[in-house]
Amino acid sequence: MPIIDVDNLVKEFHRPKRFDGPLGGLRTLVTRQMITSRAVDGVSFSIDEGELVGYLGSNGAGKSTTIKMLSGILVPTSGHVAVNGLVPWQERERNALQIGVVFGQRTQLWWDLPLADSLKIIGKLYRVEPDRYRRNLDQFIDLLGLEPFLGTPVRQLSLGQRMRGDLAAAMLYEPRILYLDEPTVGLDVVAKERTRQFIEQINRETGTTILLTTHDLADVERLCNRIIFIDKGNVLYDGPVDRLKRRYAPYRMLDVALAGDGDSAGAIRLDLPGVEIVEQGDARLRIQFDPEVIAVTDLITAVIAEHDVSDIAIVEPDLEGVVRQIVESGNTALTMGGDRS
Amino acid sequence: MHRLDAILTLAGASLRSEFQYRANVVTSIVGGLIYQLTGFLVVFIIVDRFTELGGWTLPEITFLYGMRLTSHGIFYATISQMFEFDRVLINGEYDRFLVRPMSPLVQVLTRKLRVNCFGDLLGGLILLLAASRGVDVDWSLAAIGMLLAAVVGGALVEGAVQIALGSLSFRYLNTLQIRVVANEIFNVYGNYPFRIFPGLLQYLLTFALPVAFVAYLPASVILDETNGLHVSTTLAVAAPVIGVALFMLALLFWRRMSRHYQSAGN
Amino acid sequence: MTIRANLPAWVEIAKANIRWQYMYRFNVLAGIVLTGVTIYLLTIVWKAAFGSQSEVDGIALEQMLVYLTIANLQLYFLRPEIAGDIQARIREGQIGFDLSRPASYPSQLFASAAGDMIGLLPMVVVAIPVAFVLGELRLPATPADGLAYVASLLLAWVVAVELNMLIGLVSFWTLEMTGFQMVYTLVGNFATGALIPLWFMPDAIRAVVQVLPFQAIAYVPVSIYVGEPATGAIGSALALQLFWAAALVLVIRFVWSRAFRHTVIQGG
């Protein structure tokens, strides 16, 4: 039985029509005219316990709106959601006890208080018994390296330290489900890596189900084996990451560095089926090839036979490019591409 | 029990947050006190110069002012965050409150403390104490009980109005100015014996905006000035109960309006 | 000449502030409502205080009511917000931009206050009817009084801006000034004489208020308007205001030179 079950979820927003000009504010205030927009338009998916799923889409695609309905912030216009058997907006407080939420842009910690105080307050709000609190706290201090700044007021923490504090706060009461909304936004490379490590670890070790939205596709490639991709309120793709790539980005790249001076670069030609030189210059080559048509080994052999090669590397297509391709082509025929069983 | 514990935890957090800025705590309290006493000075000067106002003596008016200010201080200490509610909705803090296992209203009210409320409270208590001996009241247990109930009830009346008006922000987002105006009306009209107001205004400030219930009506009862009151004495005696009732109504209204919450995109 | 050179900059700053007033038209309207609330209350209270007397200490009730109406009406327009602006600029670390401009900071502040005021001026159309309905308005007794009042009003604005600026400059030393500002607002309001004219203040309080600059903001101009000039004659009343306007320039120069040396830009 899936731990998160979303069925034909729809959310419409109604906003009073805005008027400009003199007394515009007043007219806006009293008007009954509403503008309706559909942010989520019939989304369905289900997630099993222990999965780590990337929830992707461009700005305004409906990601946040979905997460807000899953966490009980918003009431949907129609459709059904069950999170571990609970309807989030009907049993908001009970649902709150079983979910952790991290908004990457906004901390839930108390700005002026030391980090340790914030964690203690969270412990109380979520009714964590003292010894369980102690045990979990020690564990997260250890995992996230919180020790050095536990006594520092949150306002003085770096963004990375604050995110670690927020992750600890969200996991302190051992929720079964964790929603992460842009957890790595604005972090430097080291802090990003640390955050990813932690997410991976708790998913693996505690079996916490994680739903992750992000703009950094490196997060997804590193962490998720399944992604749900939505656009304009619809699910475009739901399935494993590599299948998405295989389907939408069949090509691989071969990066070749040539030995000697770059003079010879001008003369390079490769007459092989399914192969194309896409970039060339300065003793470097980038070759695009279709692995279905030509085997990597054959290609490399052919290149080495004709040129002095100092280095060679195969580049996997990155998710970024794939995603861009899907959105740009606007190919809704791909909908429900994930034939998950 | 857990609920109370959680409220105290949050309130404690906002108190400790504020005390991180010690200098500001002291200046805010002193500032608040001077602010309120200067406001009283205006009334004092007028009544002192003309010996009475609307048939009320200087100690009586001081008492009335003290009652209202004490109520206002209690209100301010507990419910003043309604003045920040628009911001809470717009910057997305309210989302956070909704994913926690407790009432979002409680979290709004405890998110910060305005320490100058202690200045108001202090000012109110000083005036009450100063006036309590000058007024012609037999301080029986009943009178003291009425005073305590009235002061709390007054805070509830002000709180009810601010929560009800704040609930409008779920739909209209920017309603701060309406609350500021309402608050100001309580602050300036609540300190005077209603007898000096034109008849229509007396009723408006009783039934349209319940200013009279904060201090004037219960003070009339305690000071035995109910002769010629614009409403029945029973209603005046019931002021604290009305405070509770209005507050409950405001909570219902809040709950109703919160269904319109749309969460602020990004 | 620095004035010639700086003029375009000042004009731009003023224009920007005029636009601000438009963006905050809700606050602006609420301000008028609040002013109306105050005027109406003061009218009621003073009517009740006078009771059946038509004149107290040589002041007629009508004169008194006109005084209160004009004083509070005018206070609405003479409420510079530069203190808060300075604080916000320092807190957000943007003060560096202001200080790097060629025009002196106090002169920029003056320009922005002028913009604020000009932006508010159209509200006269709303404010005067409100004051007329809720308070008591009539024209000055003689055209000469009216002219003198206009001159006095300008000086009142200058003094109001100067005092507000001084308060704002304190934020160069400390940003924790909520309490301080509250005190300034109300004590300031009280000492302007807008709530109680100096002639009805108890002697001890009047003695203090008389040596403070605040009276130049409301009491001096409005008492000219109702024909009871502060110092007994219009000329000396205007001179009193001029004195404060000039004296405060010196104080600002002094404080500003200290503040500039003390500047620590937060954040960044």
A8-38 confidence digits (pLDDT tens):
999 998 876 777 666 666 666 566 677 888 9
pLDDT at A336: 41
From C34, C51, C186, residue closest to B38, measured CB to CB? C186
Residues constituting chain A? 341
In the stretch 2-31 of chain B, residues with CB closer than 8 A to chain A read 2, 5-6, 9-10, 13, 16-18, 20-21
**Residue indicated by tokens 């029986």:** B140
d(CA A52, CA A272): 41
For residue A321, which phi and psi values (nearest 5 degrees)?
-65, -40
pLDDT of the residue at C20 = 64
Burial bucket for residue C267 (CB in 10 Å: 0-12, 13-18, 19+): exposed
ipTM of the complex: 0.88
Tell me the pLDDT band of C261, cut-offs 50, 70 and 90.
confident
Taking Cα atoms as reference points, which of A340, A272, A325, A281 lies closest to residue A301? Answer: A272
| Residues A136/A206, Cβ–Cβ less than 8 Å | no
- The alpha carbon of residue C5 is apart from the nearest alpha carbon of chain B, in Å, by 41
pLDDT value of residue B245: 98
Are residues B188 and C41, on separate chains, in Cβ contact within 8 Å?
yes
Over residues C74-96, mean pLDDT: 82
pLDDT surpasses 50 at A292? yes
- Nearest C-alpha of chain A: how many angstroms from B20? 7
pTM summary value:
0.85
CB C43 within 8 A of CB C65: yes
Cβ–Cβ below 8 Å for C180 and B21: no
Q: Report CA dihedral (A312, A317, A318, A320) to the nearest 10 degrees.
A: 140
Query: B180 near B86, Cβ under 8 Å?
Result: no
- The terminus-to-terminus CA distance of chain A in angstroms comes to 13
Q: What is the mean pLDDT of residues C149-159?
A: 95
What does the CA dihedral C127, C129, C131, C137 come to, rounded to 10 degrees? Answer: 130
Question: Residue B14 and residue A117: Cα distance in Å, rounded?
Answer: 11
The pLDDT assigned to A25 comes to 61
Length of chain B: 266
Which pLDDT belongs to residue A333? 42
- For residue C81, name the pLDDT band (cuts at 50, 70, 90): confident
Assess whether pLDDT exceeds 70 at residue C212.
Answer: yes
Q: Could you state, in order of their start, the residue ranges of all structural domains in chain C?
A: 8-262
Rounded to an integer, what distance in angstroms lies between the CA atom of residue B56 and that of residue B64?
10
Beta C59-60 vs C55-56: how paired, if at all? antiparallel
Residues of chain B neighbouring C192 (CB-CB closer than 8 A): none
Q: Which of residues 146-185 of B touch A (CB under 8 A)?
A: 171-172
Contact C87/C168 with Cβ under 8 angstroms?
Answer: yes
pLDDT of B171 reads 84
Tokens of B226: 């109910």
Which amino acid is residue B116, in one-letter code? Answer: N
Question: For C137-147, how does the pLDDT look when each residue is reduced to its tens digit (9 = 90+)?
Answer: 999 989 999 99
* Most confidently predicted of B12-26, B219-233, C24-38, C102-116: B219-233
pLDDT at position A87 is 96
Nearest CA in chain A to B12: A121
Least CB-CB distance to C179: which of B32, B177, B192? B32
Out of B23, B50, B177, the one facing C49 most closely (by C-beta) is B50
Q: Does B93 touch chain A (CB under 8 A)?
A: yes
pLDDT in 10s for each residue of chain B, 266 residues: 678 888 999 999 999 998 888 878 888 888 888 888 888 999 999 999 998 999 999 999 999 999 999 999 999 999 999 999 999 998 889 999 999 999 999 999 999 998 889 999 999 999 999 999 899 899 999 999 999 999 999 999 999 999 999 999 998 778 888 999 999 999 999 999 999 999 999 999 999 999 999 999 999 999 999 888 999 999 999 999 999 999 999 999 999 999 889 887 54
Quickly state the pLDDT bin for C232 (edges 50, 70, 90). Answer: confident
What pLDDT does C23 receive?
59
Chains near A (3 or more Cβ pairs under 8 Å): B
The residue among B186, B169, B196, B147 whose CA lies nearest residue B81 is B169
Closest to A43 in 3D by CA, of A176, A209, A212, A238: A238
Residues A211, A217: Cα–Cα separation, whole Å? 14
Q: Which residues pair with A80 in a beta bridge?
A: A7
Average pLDDT over residues A104-117: 91
Res. A112: pLDDT tops 60: yes
- Per DSSP bridges, beta strands A309-315 and A252-258 are antiparallel
Q: What's the mean pLDDT in C221-230?
A: 90
Tens of pLDDT, residues A242-284: 888 777 777 888 888 887 655 554 556 677 888 888 877 777 8
Would you give the end-to-end CA distance of chain B in angstroms? 37
Q: Are residues C34 and B197, on separate chains, in Cβ contact within 8 Å?
A: no
Q: Which residues of B touch A67 (CB under 8 A)?
A: none
The alpha-carbon gap from A208 to the nearest alpha carbon of chain B, in Å, equals 18
pLDDT digits (tens, 9 = 90+) for C53-78: 888 888 999 999 999 999 999 988 88
Lowest-pLDDT range of A186-190, B165-169, B196-200, C26-30 = C26-30
- Grouping H, G, I as helix, E, B as strand and the rest as coil, residue B156 is helix
- What pLDDT is recorded for position A334? 47
For CA atoms A256, A259, A263, A264, the dihedral sign is: negative
Identity of the amino acid at B261: Y
Lookup: tokens for C97: 């931009």
How far is residue A5's CA from residue A83's CA, in Å, rounded to a whole number? 6
What distance in Å separates residue B19's CA from the closest CA in chain A?
Answer: 9
B204 touches chain C (CB under 8 A): no
SS3 (DSSP) at B105 = helix
Q: Which of B5, B96, B102 sits opposite A93 (nearest CB)?
A: B102
Position C268 scores a pLDDT of 33
Say yes or no to pLDDT of A341 above 50.
no
DSSP chain C: -HHHHHHHHHHHHHHHHHHHHHHTHHHHHHHHHHHHHHHHHHHHHHHHHHTT-SEETTEEHHHHHHHHHHHHHHHHHS---HHHHHHHHHHTT-HHHHHHSSS-HHHHHHHHHHHHHHHHGGGHHHHHHHHHHHS-----SSHHHHHHHHHHHHHHHHHHHHHHHHHHHGGGT-S--HHHHHHHHHHHHHHHTSSS-GGGS-HHHHHHHHTSGGGGTTHHHHHHHTT--TTSSHHHHHHHHHHHHHHHHHHHHHHHHHHHHH------
Phi and psi at residue A180, in whole multiples of 5°?
Answer: -115, 115
Interface of B with C in 20-39 (CB under 8 A): 21, 23-24, 26-32, 34-35, 38-39
Q: Which chain A residues are Cβ-neighbours of B259 within 8 angstroms?
A: 75
C188 contacts C112 by C-beta, under 8 angstroms: no
Q: Which residues contact B217 (CB under 8 A, 6 or more apart)?
A: B206, B229, B231, B235, B236, B239
Q: How many Å lie between the alpha carbon of A108 and the closest alpha carbon of chain B?
A: 7
Cβ separation B92–A110 shorter than 8 A: no
Of residues B36, B23, B59, B54, the one with CA closest to residue B137: B59
Confirm or reject contact between B265 and chain C (CB < 8 A). no
What average pLDDT does range A185-195 have in this prediction?
Answer: 89
B68 chain-C contacts, CB cut-off 8 A: none
- Which pLDDT score is estimated for A35? 84
Q: Tokens for A255?
A: 């990066």
| Contact (CB<8Å) A72/B20 | no
What region, left, alpha or beta, does residue C122 occupy, with left being phi > 0 and alpha being psi -120 to 50 degrees?
Answer: alpha
CA nearest B6 in A: which residue?
A125
pLDDT score of A202 = 93
Segment among A53-57, A132-136, A238-242, C86-90 with least mean pLDDT: C86-90
Tell me whether residues C26 and B116 touch, CB distance under 8 A.
no
Residues of B in contact with C37 (CB under 8 A): 181, 184-185, 188-189
Largest CA distance in chain A: 78
- Single out the residue of B231, B204, B208 nearest to residue B218, CA to CA: B231
Neighbors of chain B with 3 or more C-beta pairs under 8 Å: A, C
- Output the pLDDT for position B203: 96
Residue A145, C-beta contacts closer than 8 angstroms, at least 6 positions apart: A164, A194
What is the spatial distance between Cα B162 and Cα B181, in angstroms, rounded to a whole number?
A: 11
Q: Whole-angstrom Cα distance, residue A226 to residue A241?
A: 6
Q: Give the residue-averaged pLDDT of A205-225.
A: 90
Residues of A within 8 A of B9 (CB-CB) are 121, 124-125
Residue B13 neighbours by CB distance under 10 Å: 22
pLDDT at C174: 75
3-state secondary structure A47-114: ECCCCEEEEECCCCCCHHHHHHHHCCCCCCCEEEEEECCECCCCCHHHHHHHEEEEECCCCCCCCCCE
Q: Which among A212, A219, A256, A261 is positioned nearest to A51, based on CA atoms?
A: A212
